[in-house]
Structures are given as C-alpha cells and as structure tokens.
Amino acid sequence: MEEISNMESEKNKIPQSKEIYLDGFNFIEKFFTLEKKSDTLANFWDLQEPFLKIKQLVSALRNSNYLLKVFIKGDNVSKDEKDKSKRRREQELRFEQTSTPPNIPILLWSFFMELNVPVFFTYQESFDDTIVSYAQQSKAIILTSNQKLFKYKNREFRIFEKYKISQNGSISFVPLRNMKNWQKEKPILPAPAKVLTKDLLSYLWPMKKELIMGCPTPFVRRFGNPYLTLRPLRQAVYVRLGIKKMIEVIPFWDKQNGSVEWDKTLVKPDAKLDNLLDNPLEAVEAMFEVSKLKKPEDCPINMWKNYLYCLHVLVFEICCIGKDNVERNIFELVKITAKNFVKWEIQDSQQYGLFRKEDEYFPKEEQKIQKKENLNILTKVCNTCHKNFEIPPGEAKFFKENNLKLPKRCKECRKAKIHIKTHKPEIYLKNERYQEEEMIKLMQQHQKPSKNMFY
C-alpha cells in the first residue's frame, strides 16, 4: 500500500492542508484495546495506556505542524446510522463481544481536551455529512477508514486511513483507497452542520422522544442489561431535566428463545431516587450492590474488572447529566475511582475486591510467600474458555529455547482442538469461530476433564 509521508518533498506526495480531522470512533480499537496478538484483556480502569497513545499521536502531528481537530458521533441521526448501531448492539449481545468501555465519547473528549485539542460532537446531521462539510470548507484531511466518504461529489478534501509514527517522532499517512463504484453521488452540505463542544447528554436528552441504549457489558446474557436496572435512576434525572415522558429502547437476551429482543417502554419521571444523583458512589452500591458481587469461577480477572468498571461508569453518567461540564465531571469520577481500584492477585477466589487492599486477601507473611512462588509462573487467559491457566517455568523455557510461541489455550481446550481436527475435519476446516463453538460444547460435556476425556 502506498505510504505518503509529510517528510517527503516530492510533488503531490505532501498533503496540502495542514488541518487534520480525526474520526474519533474509527480509532477506538487503536487507542483503547491491546494488540491483537496479545492474549490478555485490556483493563478499562487503566486510563494511562490509551492516554499515552493519544498523546503520542498529538505530539507527532504538532511536530509536523498539523492542526488536529477531533469529531465524535454524538448521536445516530440518519436511518443508516440507526440500523448499523442496532445490528452492532445485537451482535455484541449475541456473541458477548463488548471489548471497549461504554463511555468512549467521554474518554475521547477528556483525553484530547487534556492535550488542548478541540473536540466536536455531531448531532444535527449524520456524522458523515458533518465531518465532510467541515473538511470541504477548510480543504482539510480526514483520518478515517470510512469508505462512504467517497460518495460525496466535488470533494476538495483528502482521506487517509492509517498513520505511522517513526522513532524520531515524524508521522506518515496511508491513503484510503476507493474500493467501490458509487453510482449515486451525494452533495456536500453547503454550510457546516451544528456541533457541540461539551455537555452533549444534557443537551440531547431533553430534545429526545426515544432513548436507544446498547449492550454496555459482556455479561448482559448472564446478568441482564444494567440499563434496565438503572431505569429508576434515569427517571429521577427526567424530573430534573423537565422531561415529561421518554420511550426507552433496551436490548436484552431472551433465554427461552435464545435470541436478542428489545424492551420498548414508555417511562415517566419519578423523583424517588433524586438524592442518589448527588452521591454517585452511593448510587452505584444502591443500584448494583457491588460490595456483595462475586466473580464467577469461569471469568478472567480483567473481564470482571471491566464489568465493574461498566457498572460504575453507567451510574456516573446518569448522575452527571444536567450539570455543567458533564464530560469533565464523569471523567473526574472515573479517575478518583480508578485510583482506589488497586491491582490485586487472587488465587481461586471469588471476592469482589474493588476497594480492598492487597493485604486484606493475604496476610503479609503469606503474601511474600505467594509472590515468591508465583515469581516465575506465567498466567494467561485461554482464547476459547476464557479461564486463567498457568505455564510452568520449565514449559515456558522449552518454548523459548525452541523459538515457539506460548500456547494460547489451556490444556483442556488444546485437547479439544486436537479431537476436532482428528475426528471432525469438516469443522476444523471452517473458520476459528466454528472451531471454538464446537470446543466449548465438548468442554461442557466434560466439566471435570480427565486425561482421557477425548480419547
């Protein structure tokens, strides 16, 4: 793929505009998730890692004299956006694939504003129409992989899908190639659509007749959708915002039919929980009783931490709506809670542990012994069953000496894969998702695996 660098001097290889408009949602995975090769889930409480990635991008652009502006989709306006959002939410619920925090717009806004980069929420027109109208006016560069931007006619802006930062801090861009012949071209809005720079939710909620929510955690199928649990708290916000009624649309898992369904309910304001809106941490405990929650045995530690993060953030979001600087207040609450969220190690424990110190799990003497014993033991998360498994020092040394990659699956799942490869080749030849589904079925048939479970 052709790479265009701002350091090159050849004609037509330097982007003419020095303004770059970043499609914020398009780079969520790059900023907020770990590398695909990693077997460890990203920890949502770790705010430093995504911030450093964003800071690196901003620094590289400033070193090259680019002016960065960030556009974030604040609301789904067009039918196409609403349909796409609904399909994505159903897929996340069906496959339990939620891999990014539920408050992404707020985190993006907070990180970029911390670096003095202007952020714009789109809400009046579709996101594509809005960012294109601004880019056309200033002849800017759009950083996105959205192919649909090619359907706009008479474009005077350029589109790049990727960026690369070299060791010396310079930045280069990879142009987005038009892979489709757009028969119906779309005109660009004559004047830029309206945008918001802050307080998005406080502005939008009173204007809405229908509030469509998503799948904020990977455990909606198991524990239900927390948006349904939080309905009484939203009713208290409706009173403060002067909202007389709101249609709430929330997805849930129908266990009887094994399918995604949507709960559509007309909700009226109720001030019963108004006192909790000014006490966010108390509200978290009141709505979810987090101090009594226990980690399921088959749940990796980071996945459980992320679930707790989601519960906290959803409550913080509701409590801050209607107040000044909504995004800043939510971010400050997340930061305060994250500082209290100490890193701990639990061996075969189901304790909640959010605000407990490490020595509450193990006495100090036992804690030292535990650290010595686990010093050379690698713990990984199985790609298939998502349980933690250990790789002994001797086994890890063998893999390293023979230039082999460490196993991605636990021993039981590796045996299951061998069984499928040997006895069910038609499944093995399909993609990895089908393999894993079959492996999970085999694992469920053998809850207490033995050495001869597949042979």
Task: Note whether 231 and 193 are same-domain residues.
Answer: no
**Mean pLDDT of all residues in 287-300:** 86
Rg (CA), the chain: 25
- The pLDDT assigned to 336 comes to 84
Q: Tell me the pLDDT band of 56, cut-offs 50, 70 and 90.
A: very high
Rounded to whole angstroms, the Cα distance separating 337 from 103 reads 15
**Which is it for the CA torsion 47, 354, 306, 246, positive or negative?**
negative
Q: Is residue 146 part of a domain?
A: yes
Q: Is the pTM of this model over 0.85?
A: no
- My answer on whether 193 and 257 are in the same domain is no
Q: Taking phi first (over 0 means left), then psi (-120 to 50 degrees means alpha), and beta for anything else, what does residue 403 get? A: left
Rounded Cα distance between 227 and 237, Å, is 14
Domain co-membership, 257 together with 189: no
Model confidence band, residue 17 (pLDDT cutoffs 50, 70, 90)? low
Helix (H) or strand (E) holding 378: strand 378-381
Q: Are residues 23 and 118 in the same domain?
A: yes
Q: pLDDT value at position 230? A: 94
Q: What percentage of the chain has pLDDT greater than the value 90?
A: 30
- φ/ψ of 341, rounded to 5, equals -85, 85
Tell me if 324 is assigned to some domain.
yes
The single-letter DSSP state of residue 446 is -
The residue from 173, 197, 221 where one domain ends is: 197
- In 213-245, at which residue ranges do the beta strands (DSSP E only) sit? none
190 shares a domain with 107: yes
| Confidence bin at 268 (pLDDT 50/70/90) | very high
Q: For residues 399 and 293, what is the distance between their CA atoms, to the nearest angstrom?
A: 38
Tell whether 363 is covered by a domain: no
> Does residue 267 carry a pLDDT above 90?
yes
164 with 232, same domain?
no
What is the reported pLDDT for 441? 59
Q: Is pLDDT of 358 > 50? A: no
Q: Where are the beta strands (DSSP E) in 74-184?
A: 119-122, 141-143, 158-165, 171-175
Q: Is residue 213 part of a domain?
A: yes
Domain end residue (candidates: 287, 319, 341): 341
The residue segments making up the domain with residue 251 are 198-341
Mean pLDDT estimate for the chain: 78
Rounded CA separation 415/189 (Å)? 58
Give tens-digit pLDDT for 168-220.
888 989 999 887 777 788 888 887 888 999 888 888 898 889 999 988 888 88
> Residue 35: inside a domain, yes or no?
yes
Whether 151 and 251 share a structural domain: no
In sequence order, the 6+-apart residues with CB closer than 8 A to the CB of 183 are: none
Q: Band of the pLDDT at 344, cuts 50, 70, 90?
A: very low
Q: Is the pLDDT of residue 86 over 90?
A: no
Confidence check: pLDDT of 444 > 60: no
269 and 156 in a common domain? no
> What is the arithmetic mean of pLDDT over 108-112?
91
pLDDT of residue 295: 85
Of 68, 59, 69, which Cα lies nearest the Cα of 165?
Answer: 59
Cβ atoms of 74 and 200 within 8 Å: the answer is yes
Which of 197, 232, 254 is where one domain is finished?
197
- Number of domains into which the chain is organized: 3
Is the pLDDT reported for residue 424 higher than 50?
Answer: yes
For residue 87, tell me if it sits in a domain: yes
User: Are 239 and 151 in a shared domain?
Assistant: no
Residue 152 lies in a domain: yes
Whether 165 is covered by a domain: the verdict is yes
Return the closest-CA partner of residue 296 out of 81, 159, 96: 96
12 and 112 together in one domain? yes
User: Could you tell me the CATH number of the domain that includes residue 47?
Assistant: 3.40.50
